[in-house]
Amino acid sequence: FKAAQPRGKHQTAVLEALQEHDGRALGWGRKELEEVAKDALSSVPSKHRAARAASAVESLISGDHLVEDDGVYHLPGSAPPGFP
């Protein structure tokens, strides 16, 4: 099973940033995900950036681009041994 590519430009930008992020081997907490997302969306006006980042993260989770176990999120296929 392979998740379809994200549709939105914000989702795509956030997914690309996560794929290149140093923390991908260890995973991220929800707050860390949103911080990486906000950094990836630097072109979005600051008053909208947090909301766009949260929305992009939620869409990536619901679209199976991020998998969660006990509050830690990983990109599919990049989780440490023992992670689903």
- Please give the angle made by the CA atoms of 79, 71 and 12, to the nearest 5 degrees: 65
The rounded distance, in Å, linking the Cα atoms of 84 and 25 is 14
Is 2's pLDDT higher than 80? no
What are the residues facing 28 on neighbouring strands?
A: 73
**Model-level pTM?**
0.85
DSSP string for residues in 7-24: -SHHHHHHHHHHHH-GGG
Q: What is the pLDDT of residues 17-69, one digit of tens each?
A: 999 988 778 889 999 999 999 999 999 999 999 999 999 999 999 999 999 98
